[in-house]
Amino acid sequence: MGNKAGKKTGSTELTAKQIAMLRANTKYTEREIREWHAGFLRDCPNGRLDKKKFIEVYKQFYPQGKADNFCKLAFDTFDQNDDGSIDFDEFLLAISATSHGDLDDRLSVAFDMYDISDDGFIDQKELAKMILAMYDLVGETDRKGDRDPKKRATEIISKLDVGGDKKLNKQEFIAGCKNDPVIRRLLAPNA
Spell out the domain ranges in the chain. Answer: 2-64+80-99, 103-187
What pLDDT, on a 0 to 100 scale, did the predictor assign at position 148?
A: 94
Dist. CA 110–CA 107, nearest whole Å:
5
Dist. CA 92–CA 33, nearest whole Å:
8
What pLDDT, on a 0 to 100 scale, did the predictor assign at position 2?
A: 36
Class of domain 103-187: mainly alpha
User: What is the topology classification, in CATH, of domain 2-64+80-99?
Assistant: Recoverin; domain 1 (1.10.238)
Nearest-CA neighbor of 43 among 32, 33, 57? 57
Q: pLDDT tens, position by position, for the chain (191 residues)?
A: 333 333 333 468 999 999 999 999 888 999 999 999 999 999 899 999 999 988 887 787 777 778 888 888 889 888 988 899 999 999 898 888 777 778 888 888 889 989 999 999 999 999 999 889 888 888 889 999 988 999 999 999 999 999 999 999 999 999 999 998 888 887 877 76
Q: Do domains 2-64+80-99 and 103-187 have the same CATH topology?
A: yes
What pLDDT, on a 0 to 100 scale, did the predictor assign at position 57?
A: 79
Amino acid at 43: D
Sequence-distant (≥ 6) Cβ neighbours of residue 88 within 8 angstroms: 11, 14, 18, 36, 37, 40, 41, 47
What pLDDT, on a 0 to 100 scale, did the predictor assign at position 11?
A: 62
What pLDDT, on a 0 to 100 scale, did the predictor assign at position 133?
A: 87
Nearest-CA neighbor of 88 among 36, 25, 23, 16? 36
What pLDDT, on a 0 to 100 scale, did the predictor assign at position 8?
A: 38
Q: Based on C-alpha coordinates, what's the Rg of the chain?
A: 18
What pLDDT, on a 0 to 100 scale, did the predictor assign at position 42?
A: 92
**Between vectors from CA 49 to CA 56 and to CA 174, what angle results, nearest 5°?**
85
Dist. CA 98–CA 27, nearest whole Å:
12
Alpha-helix runs per DSSP H in 1-145: 2-10, 16-25, 30-43, 51-61, 68-78, 88-99, 103-114, 124-138
What pLDDT, on a 0 to 100 scale, did the predictor assign at position 105?
A: 85
